[in-house]
Amino acid sequence: QVQLQESGPGLVKPSETLSLTCTVSGGSLSSSGYYWGWVRQPPGKGLEWLGSFSSGGRTYYSPSLETRITIPVDTSKNQFSLKLTSVTAADTAVYYCARHYCTGGNCYGLGGSWGQGTLVTVSS
C-alpha cells in the first residue's frame, strides 16, 4: 500500500516561495505507468488541481499557476516537491500530494492514494 506524506513550512511570507515535499513509501516514483500530483483546498473552498507528472517524465500544470509552479522530482529519495513562487494570501490552503488511480495498465485521474495534507498559510 503506497503512502504519501507532505512536509514543509506551515507559514510563508507574501512574495516568497512556497516549498513542500511529498515523500512516498511503499511504492516507487520510478514505477512505470503512474501519475503523481498536487491538489489544494483553500479554507472554506473547493478542491483545485495544481499539477501532475508521469513516471515517464511528462509534467502538466494548471494554466492559472504555470508561470509560478514547478514540480521537481527526486527519484533517488522517492520524493517530489511543489514550488510555488510569489505567493499571496490567495495561496493559503491545505496542500495534498496524491497518486493517480491506475489499474489494468490505465490511469483514471486523481485519487488512488493521498497524503494527509498540510496547511500552508501565507502571511507576514
Partner 1 sequence: DIVMTQTPLSSPVTLGQPASISCRSSQSLEHSNGNTYLSWLQKRPGQPPRLLIYKISNRLSGVPDRFSGSGAGTDFTLKISRVEAEDVGVYYCVQATQFPYTFGQGTKLEIK
Whole-angstrom distance, CA of residue 50 vs CA of residue 52: 7
Q: Are 76 and 58 in contact (CB under 8 A)?
A: no
Identify which of residues 45 and 124 has a Cβ nearer to partner 1 in the complex.
Answer: 45
- 118 counts as binding partner 1 under rule CB under 8 A: no
Owner of C-alpha cell 500530483: 37
Binders of partner 1 among 75-114, rule CB under 8 A?
96, 98, 100-101, 106-112, 114
Residues 95, 81, 33: CA angle, nearest 5 degrees = 100
Write out the three cell numbers for 88.
499571496
Site string for partner 1, 37-76 (x = CB under 8 A): --x-x----xxxx--x-------xxxx-------------
Binding site for partner 1 (CB under 8 A): 39, 41, 46-49, 52, 60-63, 96, 98, 100-101, 106-112, 114-117
